[in-house]
Structure 1
């Protein structure tokens, strides 16, 4: 039987000491990751010769592995070096997504359900992915919610959390929206299905306080810091759906697209606001002034 190792865009993956093009078959039907979900990943971006906060993403993947009961096998600084090595395999014309990953190959000796940390494997995948920075987005309130730390591995960037986000997106797309505004089990807004979220009211910038139910992202933290340095009043607080419906401006942040203005939340229309534009300008100015082009 032929194996399809193609990829949708130009792709290179480092695994077991070598770089492989396309989509190499790495996980089999008896692999723990395949049937019991022991996968973690992270995602950084390369564009215009820079990879902002790449070091922080490489550090977080190792923390995620530990949270999932796996054993990180590559030091964060070595993952970073490999990423720059991989970037050089591309033509430099298109933005790249940098995705380090760990997964377990076997179950633990005491129970197949738990991952065996000694079977942890590592791969680093890079693929071309154009930036959608500043492309306006629409949101709808999702009927689905984020789990609590007691019920899911919310402290890790794990693949097992993403089917929940996937159903949020399917449901939102089915009603004509780009993304979904998501609540926690207490009914407070925490994020969107795929990014962190901010709102502005009377000049004050607010974002849901990190409460353990969602990933408080690296780009989120960077935007908070840059806006504060620029003189904005930025607050991490508990926010309701009503707060967002009454906001002057809404925008999202995430590694994939950096800063995205929200122009619609259900029946409420928004303008592309000045804070979102300023946040993106501040981010790009910081990224270009503090990150080199050769790793």
Structure 2
């Protein structure tokens, strides 16, 4: 049986030996950032975009990542190799480091902590083919959702409520304005145009969201970054959500409202095919 290797503050260790200090600020305050990087067929997908966002989040949080980009890339590839990762994710987390508990930042000489590990995650092919359901909930999160921080309590409460009701996702809204899912970006199709919330501080500018926008632009599919309301969501021709692990996921029902014909719509299905084509092109995946 393969012993899983993780990276912890400069060392590659067995998962069972990886221990986090009780005064790590990620543990005590959620004072840190993270990325989830998709791997298909042993190849990293959208690595550059994930690394760019990691460093952007660090800058916004005033965290100095103690590794150069090429060093972090080496960590990712070594973990993939050591753990024989074919289809899954690399999870990477940076906290502000280990110091005596206090609310203000520690001294500058305290180094940030970096943890990374891999996990096998298959593509959600059945759900992408059939579609999933979602529920609506008020967006109670903080006002810097553009930072991929460890502070996810609002997201977790929304996701748990959705899961407890048998739904795949919670689609959040501030008042009447839809923002995004608890762990995904949200899109609707209205009059043949794809709409999604602008990349402001109220949402995370997802990597899959960016790929979808690029694919739509390249293939003549109208794509507009514009806010839309709960009523517009419920009356949409199509709804889909997107994330690193969910890819392009059709939503066929929200609460008690059936969306469109209750099956994945033609624009969503076209985007799925285009996204699969991008994976095949970038990662040499044999897909149909």
> Given the two structures, how large is their TM-score scaled by the length of structure 2?
0.87
- What is the CA deviation profile of residues 207-237 of structure 1, one whole-angstrom value per residue up to 9, with x for unaligned ones? 1122211101111011011012111001110
1:97 aligns with 2:89: yes
Give, in angstroms, the shift of residue 10 of structure 1. 7.4
| Aligned equivalent of 1:245, options 218, 234, 244 | 234
Q: Secondary structure in 1 aligned to 2:72? A: helix
| Aligned equivalent of 1:284, options 245, 259, 276 | 276
User: Which runs of structure 2 are paired with 1:257-268 in the superposition (5 Å)?
Assistant: 257-268=246-257
Alignment-derived partner of residue 135 in structure 2: 140
Is the CA contact 1:103–1:122 (under 8 Å) kept in the aligned structure 2? yes
| Aligned equivalent of 1:49, options 42, 46, 66 | 42
User: Which runs of structure 2 are paired with 1:1-295 in the superposition (5 Å)?
Assistant: 11-93=4-86, 95-107=87-99, 112-116=102-106, 117-119=108-110, 120-133=112-125, 134=128, 136-149=131-144, 154-160=145-151, 162-184=152-174, 186-269=175-258, 270-291=262-283
Distance 1:131 1:290, change over 3 A: closer
Q: How many angstroms apart in 1 are the aligned matches of 2:88 and 2:14?
A: 14
Give, in angstroms, the shift of residue 272 of structure 1. 0.9
Q: Which runs of 5+ in 2 are unaligned?
A: none
Q: Secondary structure in 2 aligned to 1:263? A: strand
Q: Which runs of 5+ in 1 are unaligned?
A: 1-8
Aligned length: 276
Instruction: State which drifts further: 71-80 or 284-293.
Output: 284-293
Instruction: State which drifts further: 119-128 or 37-46.
Output: 119-128
RMSD between aligned residues: 2.3
> Given the two structures, how large is their TM-score scaled by the length of structure 1?
0.85
Q: How many angstroms apart in 2 are the aligned matches of 1:10 and 1:146?
A: 38
Q: Secondary structure in 1 aligned to 2:104? A: strand
- What is the CA deviation profile of residues 75-132 of structure 1, one whole-angstrom value per residue up to 9, with x for unaligned ones? 2232123212221123455x22111211123459xx9212335321112221222222
Distance 1:276 1:17, change over 3 A: same
Q: How many angstroms apart in 2 are the aligned matches of 1:206 and 1:10?
A: 45
Is the CA contact 2:195–2:227 (under 8 Å) kept in the aligned structure 1? no
Is the CA contact 1:49–1:292 (under 8 Å) kept in the aligned structure 2? no
Give, in angstroms, the shift of residue 189 of structure 1. 0.4
Is the CA contact 2:187–2:239 (under 8 Å) kept in the aligned structure 1? yes
